[in-house]
Amino acid sequence: MLSKPDEHGKYGIYGGKFAPEVLMTALEELEEAFSRVNSDKSFRSELSSLLSTYAGRPTPLYLANNLSEMSGAKIYLKREDLVHGGAHKLNNTLGQCLLAKHMGKKRIIAETGAGQHGVATAMAAAVLGMDCEVYMGTEDVERQKLNVFRMKLLGAKVNPVDSGSKTLKDAINEAMRDWVANVENTYYLIGSVVGPHPYPLIVREFQRVIGKETKEQILAAEGRLPDVIIACVGGGSNALGIFYEFLEEKEVELKGVEAAGKGLETGDHGASLCAGTEGVLHGMYSKLLQDEHGQIKQSYSFAPGLDYPGVGPELANLAESGRVKMDCVTDTETLSAFAILSKKEGIIPALESAHAVHYAIEEAKRRGKGSLVVVNLSGRGDKDTFIVAEAIGDKN
């Protein structure tokens, strides 16, 4: 493996376990349990059966003809928006819920930003018969009402978090506080490749399926690997999920797209890799948005899943080594890609994924005919219709 963490859970200088002492034993147990089940045939087959019969995998790799014609290069969409629940998040929550069950835990807690991870956790907990509580910033509760209602329908308890910036980072803080208090019976199901070791590793392993399928599908369709793979980056789970299988295929360029929000120069963005500095947050050493004293800054993006002032340590390491190239896209650019994909292909993308779609269209124009571009369409946009309506309304 090209990007394996060392014994301290570090990827280069990034990662590690900067967690309260109360949690250290639980993290050690989690690491052992994960390495046990990850090589266990019956666990793998149980998970793989859930992924195919419940989650709807494999997801299609769709050649977006109309979009390609408009742009130049061929654009393929990896349709993670078709996973049950409407995003790639379920790949991870099914894996971790099953892991929790194997560890004998009965109660699942999770944080959520856009609500997609919360919904996916609620689904996995429901199907595997576990109790579920989800922490969500009050600002996100407001922006993503539909997902809040879905979580409740799925039997989860949603706990609004009113501290700090009232978004994803504060939901993570609160979930960690819950875990500290209930570590003996509770499993904390982190939704992205962030947090203390072994979470970044666990989440990446459960999301790898995206890239594995993509590789087989593109080879079947085109007889060769793509020239570039593009994914949006908040914490980084859909990006690492699709990139990982291609890390050693040097001819395949890997590009991550962060939220430039209102523009990097305004300070209102979520671009931890493009504009952040090194530090420790949520148990990991990574790239963060912070002031000169180390206080964490409020991130911004109209896509709640990208509204996070940190990023996964493995991705930080891959970006530093140059294997993954990072760029960022503003709210306004995203909005235009959101409209184009909806009208040209009949697919309403999640605002998070629409960042990657915008970048892919530009990339396809630059590269022209004969090139192959793959985009991870990590989620569907039903949840975002109100945000988009408001954004368009503001303009008119």
Query: What residues make contact with another protein under the rule CB under 8 A?
Result: 8, 16-26, 163-164, 169-170, 173, 176-177, 180-184, 278-283, 288, 290, 292-296
For the CB of residue 21, give the shortest distance to another protein in the complex, in Å: 4
- Please state, in angstroms and rounded to a whole number, the distance separating the CA atoms of residues 216 and 236: 22
Three-state DSSP class for 304? helix
Q: Which is nearer to another protein, 16 or 86 (CB)?
A: 16
C-alpha gyration radius of the chain: 19
Is there a catalytic annotation at residue 78?
A: no
Q: Which of 215, 299, 378, 383 is catalytic?
A: 378
Q: Which is nearer to another protein, 180 or 339 (CB)?
A: 180
For the CB of residue 278, give the shortest distance to another protein in the complex, in Å: 8
Is there a catalytic annotation at residue 46?
A: no
Q: Which is nearer to another protein, 22 or 153 (CB)?
A: 22
Q: Which is nearer to another protein, 182 or 332 (CB)?
A: 182
- Please state, in angstroms and rounded to a whole number, the distance separating the CA atoms of residues 299 and 304: 10
For the CB of residue 273, give the shortest distance to another protein in the complex, in Å: 17
- Please state, in angstroms and rounded to a whole number, the distance separating the CA atoms of residues 317 and 110: 26
258 sits in which H/E element: strand 253-261
- Please state, in angstroms and rounded to a whole number, the distance separating the CA atoms of residues 336 and 329: 11
Instruction: Tokens for 220, please give them.
Output: 């079947």
- In this structure, the dihedral spanned by the alpha carbons of residues 334, 336, 341 and 343, taken in order and rounded to 10 degrees, is 150
- Please state, in angstroms and rounded to a whole number, the distance separating the CA atoms of residues 396 and 192: 36
For the CB of residue 96, give the shortest distance to another protein in the complex, in Å: 20
Helix residue ranges per DSSP H, the chain? 21-38, 41-50, 65-71, 89-102, 116-127, 138-143, 145-153, 168-182, 199-207, 209-222, 237-243, 272-275, 313-321, 331-345, 351-367, 385-395
- Please state, in angstroms and rounded to a whole number, the distance separating the CA atoms of residues 19 and 9: 12
- Taking the CB of residue 287, how many other CB atoms lie within 10 A of it? 27
Q: Which of 89, 166, 169, 215 is catalytic?
A: 89
For the CB of residue 15, give the shortest distance to another protein in the complex, in Å: 10
Q: Which of 395, 330, 389, 321 is nearest to 359 (CA)?
A: 330
Q: Which is nearer to another protein, 4 or 293 (CB)?
A: 293
- Taking the CB of residue 250, how many other CB atoms lie within 10 A of it? 8
Q: Which is nearer to another protein, 69 or 278 (CB)?
A: 278
For the CB of residue 107, give the shortest distance to another protein in the complex, in Å: 14
Q: Which of 80, 111, 139, 352 is catalytic?
A: 111
Q: Which is nearer to another protein, 225 or 280 (CB)?
A: 280
For the CB of residue 395, give the shortest distance to another protein in the complex, in Å: 33
- Please state, in angstroms and rounded to a whole number, the distance separating the CA atoms of residues 64 and 79: 11
Is there a catalytic annotation at residue 371?
A: no
Q: Which residues are catalytic?
A: 89, 111, 378
